[in-house]
Amino acid sequence: MSILLTPKTQVQCYHCGNDCKDEDILSDDKHFCCSGCLTVYDILKDNQLCGYYDLNQNAGVSLKAKNFNGKFDYLSEKSVETELLAYQSPTQNKVLLHIPSIHCSSCVWLLENFHKILEGVISARLNFVKKELSLSYNPLETSLKEIVELLATLGYEPQINLEGSTKKSKLDPETKRLLFKIGVVGFCAGNIMLMSFPEYFKFNLENQSDATYQRFFLYFNFLLSLPVFFFGASDYLKGAYYSIVENLKKNSDILSVDIPIALGITALFIRSTYETLVNHSAGYWDSMAGLVLFLLVGKWVQQVTFNYLSFDRSYKSYFPLAVKVKNQDKQYKNVKDLNKGDEVVIHHQELIPADSILLEGNALVDYSFVTGETKPVRKSKGDFLYAGGRQMADKIELLVQKPVSTSYLTQLWNNDSFLKEKRIPTTELANAFSKYFTYLTFLIAAIVGVYWYFNDASLVWTTVTAVLMVACPCALTLSMPFTMNTTMSIFGRNKFYVKNQGVIQLLTEADTIVFDKTGTLTESNSGQVRYMGVPMTTYEKSVVFSLVSQSLHPLSKLVAGHLGNGEAVNVEFFKDIKGNGIEAFVDGKPVRIGRIGFVKNSAENQQDTEVHVSIDNQYLGYYTIEPVFRSNWKALLNKLSETFSLHLISGDIDKMKTKLQPLFGDNMRFDQTPQEKLDYIKELEKKGHNVVMIGDGLNDAGALRQSKVGIALSEDIQAFSPSCDAILDANNFEKLGDYVKFSKTSLNIVKLSFLLSVVYNIMGIGWAASGVLSPVVAAIFMPLSTLSVVFFSVGVTILVAKFRKLR
């Protein structure tokens, strides 16, 4: 075996690829960062599935600090299991599980070999794009609980929540219809183009066989073009019809961009039919089929989204599926069936599922995700607890007061802004353009008609139809979806996922940005304990654990919960000194845990939320629950304040006000409820501002919904984020300004390509008006102009992105 040249501190875990910083377990000459990773390796080795590591190096998911003990016990409850199953029979059950951590080909390989690991699993099939695993298993040999537990152990924890129990649909029918249309029109367009060739090479109509062929190809094209016009272009024709009706009824004065398009297509169809049936000469069939094909492809590009991300989550996907109940004959109950009077048991780190009264135990509830309040709240017996908080201390028992759907937190979802659909611009820009465009086209057609009427009346019909045909704004409608699609995928590569193309457009209109504080400007696991200082050994951790677990102080409880457990150590002379900390002798060595002044025996001052540790008179470091601001947050805000007015709404108390004052001035609100946040956005919008809201938690859900663009910031894009228009990976928070700037650039690129297509139109109309637009010229000119506009917009977008150093 070769000698490892890298220093020991940089050894990578064989399973997950993380640095083995705290621990380094050696097994089979391979390093592992934690026992969880080693367990997975052992399971795979026992089942001869080490090919997992051959496909991708360090393919595994880190299992550090994960503890699944008893977490999935509720799945053994029959009613809960039945709810999750897609199909049930005595010998075979089927279930569809959503597994967010699927990320590479090794995952596919392992999960589809799942039947080799667990006896009783019949087959497993993975949809990588949607990250869904469909499993069928024999309920006599294994159970859902066993399957889920093993999946979690392997690092593929399925997401099971209140929302997940409702089955998702397949491809939506509208997309499917569009795909069918593209298939049909593509088929017809290809054949029409081929059949048109003979005509372009000039038939000798004197010749009997040439004349037969000419007729044959002509009528063949006519037949093929019928589905193109009546099926493929039906949306445009209908859209134009409705828009005209609306205008006649004076309901709207917008001329939809469908009108000039439908006009162009209809002109092509009528003129070509006339040429075919009356003149028996070539029509513009290939131009028409190509045009409709391009338009449909553009439409398809427009609706491409990140379909593995979920933008429309409600509180339902935050709550667990089932909870342990006490006063029932069964052990677990579905959360949505909870009623007043049910007694539920909540363990450490579990969510409170419904508004309830504390019956038993000490509650230390972290509401940071729900309200934005960073400090965990202490509650004692008889207190009222709101749903959504996370229990940080030990086991508690609660008496449910209200069902989940009517709880204080979920009331927010009954607000108006959740009921109505958000306005998403799709063709607004093109529509604004189309108004002038349509009138101008008619004007030119009329002038051309009048001119030829007085000069050569035989050319009126041909020139007028040619003008209408060539003026069809196909390139115009295509540049928008293609540019925005490119922008979207550039954003996606930079971990900024927008819901659809309209969001990019809305982003360019923004003039005000509202930030949430907790979890947005600060890092989101702020309610959680973080250790700063000299790394501790397992023994030292056990020492700290043994002491803090005996103290009743809320901070001690938090630290104990963070450490989880520890080995048994010998504690003597345990002393809980009020207002200072704990002092004891462990294995003969003095240990102090608490305020810095007490631990270091000095007069230093500290924040309320720090727990310092010294062992054997050696100061080690401290635990803190102080929220930490994101890196470069100040630089970002300074940059944004040049072009936007910045606001801050926080559910937290105002203890950081002085730090934020220089950046936000007076535009700060603290202690805001979710409803107040929503109202604040509404107020800003009433003043005429276009608001972008950036938040992360359930408490921002209302504000995110109400604002023009709601951006959810997320540490893990697969994990829960409230319903929003875009998801931004928290690591790229500092690039937010670049994204907003780039969306403006793409809109300018679209406008530029509008200009280009106008130039083409002027050229085309020139030809058409002078009566020289033959079918061959149209067949070359029309697709070429369209393609060049598309290439221009996509190319420029990519170039600018490169120049701006966006990957």
Provide the binding-site residues for another protein, judged by CB under 8 A.
48, 55, 105, 108-109, 112-113, 115-116, 122-123, 125-130, 136, 170-171, 176, 179-180, 183-184, 187, 191, 195, 209, 212-213, 216, 220
* Shortest distance (Å) from residue 170 CB to another protein: 6
* Shortest distance (Å) from residue 563 CB to another protein: 40
Residue closer to another protein (CB basis): 125 or 378: 125
* Shortest distance (Å) from residue 61 CB to another protein: 17
At residue 420, the 3 state secondary structure works out as: coil
Residue closer to another protein (CB basis): 200 or 664: 200
* Shortest distance (Å) from residue 172 CB to another protein: 11
| Residue 324: burial class (beta carbons within 10 Å; 0-12, 13-18, 19+) | buried
Residue closer to another protein (CB basis): 120 or 425: 120
CB 86 within 8 A of CB 96: yes
Instruction: Give dist(CA 16, CA 37) in Å, integer.
Output: 7
Spatial CA neighbour of 786 closest among 439, 296, 427, 436:
296
Residue closer to another protein (CB basis): 196 or 614: 196
* Shortest distance (Å) from residue 179 CB to another protein: 5
Residue closer to another protein (CB basis): 133 or 288: 133
* Shortest distance (Å) from residue 129 CB to another protein: 5
φ, ψ (nearest 5 deg) of residue 637: -65, -40
* Shortest distance (Å) from residue 195 CB to another protein: 8
Spatial CA neighbour of 322 closest among 301, 346, 357:
346
* Shortest distance (Å) from residue 297 CB to another protein: 15
Residue closer to another protein (CB basis): 212 or 279: 212
Q: 3-state secondary structure string, 334-383?
A: EHHHCCCCCEEEECCCCECCCCEEEEECCEEEECHHHHCCCCCEEECCCC
DSSP state of 394: S
Residue closer to another protein (CB basis): 132 or 509: 132
Q: How far is residue 705 from each of residues 105, 282, 314, 688, measured CA to CA in Å?
A: 36, 55, 11, 17
Instruction: Give dist(CA 135, CA 123) in Å, integer.
Output: 6
Residue closer to another protein (CB basis): 123 or 617: 123
Residue closer to another protein (CB basis): 216 or 242: 216
* Shortest distance (Å) from residue 115 CB to another protein: 7
* Shortest distance (Å) from residue 150 CB to another protein: 18
φ, ψ (nearest 5 deg) of residue 707: -70, 165
Q: What is the largest CA-CA distance in the chain?
A: 118
* Shortest distance (Å) from residue 116 CB to another protein: 6
At residue 168, the 3 state secondary structure works out as: coil
Contacts of 737 (CB under 8 A, 6+ apart): 636, 639, 640
Residue closer to another protein (CB basis): 172 or 416: 172
- Work out the angle between the directed axes of helices 460-470 and 736-769 (0-180°, nearest 10): 170
Using DSSP bridges, classify how beta strands 121-127 and 322-325 pair: parallel, antiparallel or unpaired. unpaired
* Shortest distance (Å) from residue 807 CB to another protein: 21
Residue closer to another protein (CB basis): 126 or 265: 126
Residue closer to another protein (CB basis): 187 or 241: 187
Residue closer to another protein (CB basis): 227 or 771: 227
The H or E element containing residue 435 is: helix 428-455
What sign results for the dihedral spanned by CA atoms 496, 502, 504, 510?
A: negative
Instruction: Give dist(CA 632, CA 397) in Å, integer.
Output: 43
* Shortest distance (Å) from residue 154 CB to another protein: 17
Contacts of 213 (CB under 8 A, 6+ apart): 198, 203
* Shortest distance (Å) from residue 299 CB to another protein: 16
At residue 585, the 3 state secondary structure works out as: strand
φ, ψ (nearest 5 deg) of residue 384: -90, 130
Residue closer to another protein (CB basis): 304 or 569: 304
Q: How far is residue 673 from each of residues 412, 431, 802, measured CA to CA in Å?
A: 10, 40, 42
Instruction: Give dist(CA 311, CA 806) in Å, integer.
Output: 24
Question: Which pair of tokens denotes residue 572?
Answer: 């003597």
Residue closer to another protein (CB basis): 204 or 661: 204
Q: Residue length, the chain?
A: 807
At residue 444, the 3 state secondary structure works out as: helix
Instruction: Give dist(CA 88, CA 136) in Å, integer.
Output: 10
Q: CB neighbours (10 Å) of residue 384?
A: 11
Residue closer to another protein (CB basis): 173 or 688: 173
Instruction: Give dist(CA 568, CA 566) in Å, integer.
Output: 7
At residue 152, the 3 state secondary structure works out as: helix
* Shortest distance (Å) from residue 230 CB to another protein: 17
* Shortest distance (Å) from residue 108 CB to another protein: 4
Quickly list H helices, 456-553. 460-470, 474-493, 501-509, 538-548
Spatial CA neighbour of 701 closest among 308, 317, 159, 163:
317
